[in-house]
Amino acid sequence: DQQVKQNSPSLSVQEGRISILNCDYTNSMFDYFLWYKKYPAEGPTFLISISSIKDKNEDGRFTVFLNKSAKHLSLHIVPSQPGDSAVYFCAASDSGGGADGLTFGKGTHLIIQP
Amino acid sequence: DTAVSQTPKYLVTQMGNDKSIKCEQNLGHDTMYWYKQDSKKFLKIMFSYNNKELIINETVPNRFSPKSPDKAHLNLHINSLELGDSAVYFCASSPWSVGPKLPEAFFGQGTRLTVV
């Protein structure tokens, strides 16, 4: 049972344009969401997060939007750069404690084309 | 300096063997985790340790056992390896937190285990 779903296995975007990665979740107990970026042969690295008390969080070129009623979040990258080519994982957790771990989606492979 | 380091990076072994993967973090975090990324690319949590106490065990076979000699280390021991254990295993750590903000976890580079 996938509690966090990333329905697009891959996404190709032209350099300079906006990349939009989507994520849906089913567990209504989730109230904290994170995006991780992963290069081949490396571990995931934290990118940006959002608490359920917000609907938007921005950090430089990266913005995460949260729609609680739709149980949907998205990551916007603008402008997209070649170094953004990677696999992006959406992750979620409830705030019951730091030891609960994260529930990850399957990832979306973002390819930035020159 | 690598924040979360795990060794080895690659491990090829025969069925039935016993193997260990080591993990160390120098971030002073209270909680460490082991995640498994299977062939379908799902990252799933296996264990977490907080202050040397096992917090969760997500229906992982008892052939897998985490060992934490101290707060900075969480090693993964696997007995009687099976073909289905082939996967990438990630170690991670985070500060302990209770409340609305869950701190992000820092991941190691992964260990690709291949059982033949």
- Give me the average pLDDT of each 10-residue run along chain A (114 residues): 90 97 94 91 89 94 97 98 96 68 90 95
| Contacts with A, B 60-89, CB within 8 Å | none
**What's the pLDDT score for residue A22?**
98
Q: How many CB pairs under 8 A join A and B?
A: 83
Secondary structure (DSSP) of chain A: --SEE---SEEEEETTS-EEEEEEE--TT--EEEEEEE-TTS--EEEEEEETT-SEEEETTEEEEEETTTTEEEEEESS--GGG-EEEEEEEE-TT-GGG--EE---EEEEEE-
Rounded to a whole number, what is the distance in Å from the CA of B51 to chain A's nearest CA?
10
Pairing between β-strand A19-25 and β-strand A45-51 as defined by DSSP bridges: unpaired
| Contacts with B, A 12-51, CB within 8 Å | 31-32, 34, 36, 41-46, 49, 51
Contact B100 A53 (CB under 8 A): yes
A48, amino acid identity: I
CB proximity A96 to B under 8 Å: yes
pLDDT tier for residue B100 given thresholds of 50, 70 and 90: very low
Tens digits of residue pLDDT in B29-76 = 888 889 998 877 778 888 888 876 787 776 789 899 999 888 899 999
